[in-house]
Amino acid sequence: MLNFDFQNSTRIVFGRDTQNAVGELLKPYAKKILLHYGGSSIKKSGLYDTVAASLNANDIEFVELGGVVPNPRLSLVHEGIRLCKAENVELILAVGGGSVIDSAKAIAAGMYYDGDVWDLFETGRSTDGALPVATVLTIPAAGSESSMNTVITNEAIQKKLGYGNVHLRPCFSIVNPELFFTLPKNQIANGVADMISHIFERYFTNTTETDLTDGLCEATLRTIMKNALLVVKNPRDYDAWCQVGFGGTVAHNDLLGMGREQDWGCHGMEHELSAIYDVAHGAGLAVVTPAWMKYVYKSNINIFVQFAVNVMGVSGSFRNPDAIVMEGIERLSEFFKKMGLPSTLGQLGIDESNLELMAKKATREAYGKEYPIGGLKKLYWQDVLEIYRLAR
Residues binding a copy of itself (CB under 8 A): 1-18, 172, 208-209, 211-213, 215-216, 218-220, 222-223, 226-227, 239, 242-243, 246-247, 250, 255, 258-259
Closest CB to a copy of itself among 212 and 301?
Answer: 212
61: three-class secondary structure by DSSP: strand
237: three-class secondary structure by DSSP: coil
Shortest spacing between CB 101 and a copy of itself, in angstroms? 18
Shortest spacing between CB 116 and a copy of itself, in angstroms? 30
Residue 135: phi and psi, rounded to 5, are: -140, 150
Shortest spacing between CB 128 and a copy of itself, in angstroms? 13
Shortest spacing between CB 244 and a copy of itself, in angstroms? 9
Sign of CA dihedral 126, 115, 96, 358: negative
| Residue-wise DSSP of 83-138 | HHHHHT--EEEEEESHHHHHHHHHHHHHTT-SS-THHHHHH----S----EEEEES
Closest CB to a copy of itself among 242 and 309?
Answer: 242
Whether the CB-CB separation of 266 and 216 falls below 8 Å is answered with no
Whether the CB-CB separation of 276 and 358 falls below 8 Å is answered with yes
Closest CB to a copy of itself among 251 and 291?
Answer: 251
Residue 369: phi and psi, rounded to 5, are: -80, 130
- DSSP 8-state symbol, 349: T
Shortest spacing between CB 1 and a copy of itself, in angstroms? 4
The neighbouring-strand residues paired with 76 are none
Shortest spacing between CB 295 and a copy of itself, in angstroms? 29
Closest CB to a copy of itself among 170 and 328?
Answer: 170
Closest CB to a copy of itself among 210 and 274?
Answer: 210
Closest CB to a copy of itself among 154 and 213?
Answer: 213
Sign of CA dihedral 336, 340, 343, 348: negative
